[in-house]
Amino acid sequence: MGMNQNVVFPGEPPSWPAVAKLLADKGCPVQMRMIDGELAFPDETPPDTWREIRVAAAGAMVTIRRQPNQVVLVAWGNADDNQRALWNALAATWAEAGGGIVQAAGPE
């Protein structure tokens, strides 16, 4: 079972390259692991039409699902400190990049 955080935007979510750059600028670079259920190269950029990506940093991985006007960030329910840190950094950075609001975490 997983737990999720939703980041809700006033319009469409920002692009992944914008979010990835902001993460790197903050000292939290991430590597791509999967794009829409397919394995990806660490430096691969998903197409503009992506629906789900998985990214990793510091031995942790988080799933990001894009929906109209929001992204849903999913971590395992037994997430360790590294995974929780990545999960929270992703939520805050998505919100910052797109003028979004992070909603409280909940079960997946």
- pLDDT tens digits, one per residue of 49-101: 999 999 999 999 999 999 999 999 999 878 899 999 999 999 999 999 999 99
- Residues 28 and 30: their CA atoms lie apart, in Å, by 6
Find out whether 74 and 61 touch, Cβ atoms under 8 Å: no
Find out whether 2 and 76 touch, Cβ atoms under 8 Å: yes
Cα 9–Cα 14–Cα 20 angle in degrees, nearest 5: 130
Report yes or no on whether pTM surpasses 0.85: yes
3-state DSSP call for residue 86? helix
- Residues 82 and 84: their CA atoms lie apart, in Å, by 5
Q: Where are the domains of the chain?
A: 2-107
The token pair at 85 is 């840190």
**pLDDT confidence bin for 105, thresholds 50/70/90:** low
Which CATH architecture is the domain 2-107 placed in? 2-Layer Sandwich (3.30)
